[in-house]
A and B are shown apart, each in its own frame.
Chain A
Amino acid sequence: MAAQAQAKERKLPAPAVSPETKDYWDAAAQGRLLVRKCTACGEAHHYPRTICPFCFSDKTEWITASGKGTIYSYSVMRRAPVPYVMAYVTLAEGPSMMTNIVDCDFDRLRIGQEVTVVFKPTDGGAPLPMFTPA
């Protein structure tokens, strides 16, 4: 079932863009994953915010992520028209982000597995960063 399912394409809704996150989605359109990092406390966070959620400093900036990470947890959503994999991936830069694992055999995934970013088109909006086994 999984092998068939991952061959099908899901239609992905476009993410809503705000003034705070426009750079993130513009970078995604260019195939780059951004992470927001605080220069005051040195911590990176996700999802991106102007004011650091850890130290509440406004000295935050974009950094380009390596696109590498590991699967923190996942679930194959079998009960969907086109099954897909929900996941949290812990980025090499520190934060974990909600995402999908794609272009792979869903039944061979495991927690701790190394993954790398890919970008998937949405329905009329910026592409979404997703991950595939490295």
Chain B
Amino acid sequence: MSLKGKAYIAGIYEHPTRLATDLSLAMIHAEVAKGALEDAGLTNADVDGYFCAGDAPGLGPMSMVEYMGLKPRHIDSTDIGGSSYVAHVGHAVEAIAAGKCKVALITLAGRPRAEGMATGTVPRSRGGTPTPDEPFEFPYGPTVVNMYAMCAMRHMHQYGTTSEQLAWIKVAASHHAQHNPHALLRDVVTVEDVVGSPMIADPLHRLDCCVITDGGGAIVVVAPEIAKSLKRPKVKVLGAAEALKTQMGGKVDLTYSGAAYTGPPAFAEAGVKPSDVKYVSIYDSFTITVLMQLEDLGFAEKGKGGQLVADGNLISGVGKLPFNTDGGGLCSNHPGNRGGLTKVLEAVRQVRGEAHPKVQVENCDLALAHGTGGSLGSRHGSATVILERE
């Protein structure tokens, strides 16, 4: 069964905070849920489907359902890291199409800054029973940044991608972030600024890395008859796909991401092609993440992503493929180290015509949002959604 047009995104909300010292995790979940439901013109009493991931306190969705006074008849706490919430949009459409719910609420919250977490540069063990991979990895010191750095190193070796090309991705994000009053980093930077910033893990510099922020966001996905009854612009979900990419038993290939698995089915379901898309929200934990996903989704031939992203081509109003017009994770927000949900939010703003006027893409009737979760260099989740204005 195709899910094309079986549900709509009716409400979104992004928490304005970037440092949540005075907020609990549960408070942020509830505040973003309230914000998205009010945006849609709904209340917590209308919610009959609830989706969250590992950032929610407690066992799966249990504590948050109780805390927010929800009575869902459909629940889903699939956790594939930062890509979870993009996958949840697809799951919500599936559940709505199957008649399991009509108003699906997806929430995300995190406060790594308030907790002083060394997100990218310290190896992390999950604790408890180790995963089968952990003894063969954790003692060597894999961190978020050096695992993504190995992808960049291989891409440069194999395709001739340069640090300057990667830097253009950050430059484009910074051009957008200057117009976002909530963005953590609002200064426009240059290619020279990026390649001149301190090397963290070769070949990734400090400015190749995303921000670490507190905050969160929420999405409300509804059945067509609910969408018709609401006053907001109608954002139809045209296609969705999810996948995992692994080390494949040792047949390691760092030149592509799970987007190579999710792009083709999402486009096929939507019945559109990459050249039809007016705006893209692309997971931007690091500059290399963006470049690889753009190639894998079909916006550039494999190995030619460097040419696609260079010379301002990702800047709204300047280039051919405007991306992450809120400033993305590179400059604005990466709440809880999970950037997938905010990717969907800016795609919805663009399709509604409600992005900041300085970055709003003209006649933006078709947008794509893509998330990556986990580690690009070992195992990660991928999820793609394609959205259309009706």
Q: Which of A's residues lie within 8 Å of B, judged by CB?
A: 10, 12-18, 20-21, 25, 43-47, 49, 52-54, 72-80, 84, 86-88, 90, 94-100, 111-112, 122, 128, 130
Task: Establish whether residues B153 and A49, one from each chain, have CB atoms under 8 Å apart when the complex forms.
Answer: no
The distance in angstroms between the C-alpha atoms of A54 and B30, with both chains bound, is: 44
Q: Which of B's residues lie within 8 Å of A, judged by CB?
A: 121, 125, 130, 132-143, 145-147, 149-154, 157, 198-204, 247-252, 254, 378
Task: Establish whether residues A78 and B250, one from each chain, have CB atoms under 8 Å apart when the complex forms.
Answer: no
Known: A47-B136, A76-B202. A94 touches B250 (CB 8 A): yes
Chain A residues near B157 (CB-CB < 8 A): 73, 111-112
Task: Establish whether residues A44 and B150, one from each chain, have CB atoms under 8 Å apart when the complex forms.
Answer: no
Known: A74-B153, A86-B142. A79 touches B250 (CB 8 A): no
Chain A residues near B134 (CB-CB < 8 A): 16
Task: Establish whether residues A97 and B141, one from each chain, have CB atoms under 8 Å apart when the complex forms.
Answer: no
Please name the residue on chain B nearest to A96 by beta carbon.
B252
Please name the residue on chain B nearest to A48 by beta carbon.
B136
The distance in angstroms between the C-alpha atoms of A45 and B250, with both chains bound, is: 5
Task: Establish whether residues B250 and A128, one from each chain, have CB atoms under 8 Å apart when the complex forms.
Answer: no
The distance in angstroms between the C-alpha atoms of A21 and B291, with both chains bound, is: 37
Q: Could you write out 13 A-B pairs with CB less than 8 Å apart?
A: A10-B141, A15-B139, A16-B130, A46-B249, A46-B250, A72-B254, A74-B153, A75-B152, A75-B204, A86-B140, A87-B150, A88-B252, A97-B250
Specify the main secondary structure of chain A where it touches its partner: loop
Chain A residues near B136 (CB-CB < 8 A): 15, 46-47, 97-98
Please name the residue on chain A nearest to B123 by beta carbon.
A13
The distance in angstroms between the C-alpha atoms of A53 and B249, with both chains bound, is: 6
The distance in angstroms between the C-alpha atoms of A43 and B150, with both chains bound, is: 25
Task: Establish whether residues A78 and B201, one from each chain, have CB atoms under 8 Å apart when the complex forms.
Answer: yes
Chain B residues near A47 (CB-CB < 8 A): 132-133, 135-137, 250
Task: Establish whether residues B200 and A78, one from each chain, have CB atoms under 8 Å apart when the complex forms.
Answer: yes
Chain A residues near B248 (CB-CB < 8 A): 53
Known: A79-B121, A88-B252, A96-B252. A128 touches B139 (CB 8 A): yes
Please name the residue on chain A nearest to B141 by beta carbon.
A84
Chain A residues near B199 (CB-CB < 8 A): 78
A120 to B: closest C-beta gap in Å = 9
Most buried by A among B139, B200, B202: B139
Chain B residues near A54 (CB-CB < 8 A): 249
